Structure 1
Amino acid sequence: MKHKNTLELYEYWASKRAGRPAPSRTDIEPGDIRRLLPDVFICELSKDGKLTFRLAGTGLCNLYGRELKGTGFGELWLEDGIRNATRTGVAVASGPTPAILSLDGLSTRAGVLQAEMLLLPVFGPTGEHDRLIGLTSVFDPPYWIGHDPLAGFSTTGVRFLDQSREPLFLGNRPEIALPRAEREKSAPLFGRSERKVGHLRVLEGGRQD
């Protein structure tokens, strides 16, 4: 955990478990995590395996310039990362193991940001594993947030958390680096030149009317 907000939500979630694999959704009091709420979200896993947003904070919606409630969890990712992100979210919602994702975000005008996402399982009203509560923490938020929506995230690493260890030592669980998927060679999008920033493809020239 690299961001203080990530650790704060994890410690709150752990305190509500009371020895159980996960707390119930009703155990989570919004007032207890008031400072974090803009970046908090809740997803529900349906019986057909779809993971969708039941609630998304204003901070997360602001990153994408739209309301996310009712949309699929995987829609936050660039196309080549949707499958892995969805599988990770479903694994957390359907089981007792939390996860942290290291993320790069690419905006529609080629802005780049770094973030991490915490995913924590919670029990739904039926007592089954069918929900997760999450938090997206952006490092050094760029000035363009709220003006230049994200096109999507790219996952650079995943770490599953061992609940038997204290949060201070969670970093000892190694992060699984995700290699960039092999892409077919193609012409630059919209006829614009491109460059690489890390493993992201960035279009030059900004807005063109």
Structure 2
Amino acid sequence: MADPGTPEEKVTANMMHAHARTLVSYWDSRRRTDAVPARADIAAADLRDLLGNLFMLQRHDPSHHVFRLAGTRLCDLHQRELREQNFLSFWRGYDREYMKLLLESVLANAAPGRGYATAETINGDRLDIEMVFTPLASKAGSVDRILGLYQPLQSPDRFHHRPIIRHVLTRILPPVSKLWTLPVTPPPEFPDAANDQ
């Protein structure tokens, strides 16, 4: 394994799946200036190739981010309907707390975040997952929804219809909040030094 500090590892760690890039670009294109897109600004037809892996969460409180919609591939991987289920039920222990903080951070900063996990089936098969979380505003204007992508990084065909029962978080990339800069203040002007000669 390469040293995590080597440039090769950093480049690999920050790469996004093509579907993840598509979702983030689409989300950014639907924004109005600095505002978060509204749920009404999102058209499913625009994301046709991603629909099976897309989901929408609604925040009820910090511990409950409930599936409003879940793509067919996502439901098939878990062998159950996910609508009205708490997304945080995928996670246990510290992973649940970290994921809760990531979702809350995405909403508070009104910026996308990402997570990486290993999903495990009932018989121990594993699959790497990339997740993207983009915030959306409700009709009332509050930022309380997340349009997300659950993207397997390998083919799940080998699972042979065995459900995913466990997720282990491997990495989170929280949103980058807006950078606030102080105004540039010119240096104070001092009178020329007195000539003591």
TM category (shorter chain) comes to 0.7 to 0.9
Aligned-pair CA distance for 1:88: 1.6
Distance 1:106 1:78, change over 3 A: farther
Kept in 2: contact 1:99–1:161 (CA 8 A)? yes
Distance between the aligned counterparts of 2:86 and 2:61, measured in 1?
Answer: 14
Aligned-pair CA distance for 1:82: 1.9
**Residue 5 of structure 1: aligned partner:** 19
**Residue 22 of structure 1: aligned partner:** 36
Q: What TM-score, normalized by structure 1, do the two folds share?
A: 0.72
**Residue 109 of structure 1: aligned partner:** 123
Match of 2:99, SS state, is helix
Aligned-pair CA distance for 1:27: 0.2
* 1:43 pairs with 2:57: yes
Match of 1:46, SS state, is strand
| Mean Cα deviation higher: 39-48 or 75-84 | 75-84
* 1:77 pairs with 2:91: yes
Amino acid aligned to 2:55? F
Deviations 1:104-147 (A, max 9, x none): 11111100111100001000111001111000111121323461
**Unmatched 5+ stretches in structure 2:** 1-14, 179-197
Aligned-pair CA distance for 1:156: 0.8
User: Which residue of 111, 118, 124 corresponds with 1:97?
Assistant: 111
CA RMSD after TM alignment: 2.1
User: Which residue of 68, 82, 89 corresponds with 2:82?
Assistant: 68
**Residue 12 of structure 2: aligned partner:** none
Of structures 1 and 2, the larger Rg is shown by 2
**Residue 141 of structure 2: aligned partner:** 127
Amino acid aligned to 2:133? L
Kept in 1: contact 2:117–2:169 (CA 8 A)? yes
User: Which residue of 36, 48, 55 corresponds with 1:34?
Assistant: 48
Aligned-pair CA distance for 1:98: 1.3
Amino acid aligned to 1:111? D
Deviations 1:144-197 (A, max 9, x none): 346111112111111124487xxxxxxxxxxxxxxxxxxxxxxxxxxxxxxxxx
Q: What TM-score, normalized by structure 2, do the two folds share?
A: 0.77
Distance between the aligned counterparts of 2:50 and 2:101, measured in 1?
Answer: 25
Kept in 1: contact 2:119–2:166 (CA 8 A)? yes
Aligned-pair CA distance for 1:19: 1.3
Distance 1:146 1:45, change over 3 A: farther
Amino acid aligned to 2:71? G
Aligned-pair CA distance for 1:84: 1.8
Distance between the aligned counterparts of 1:77 and 1:57, measured in 2?
Answer: 19
Match of 1:143, SS state, is helix
Amino acid aligned to 1:129? V
Kept in 2: contact 1:74–1:86 (CA 8 A)? yes
Aligned-pair CA distance for 1:94: 4.0
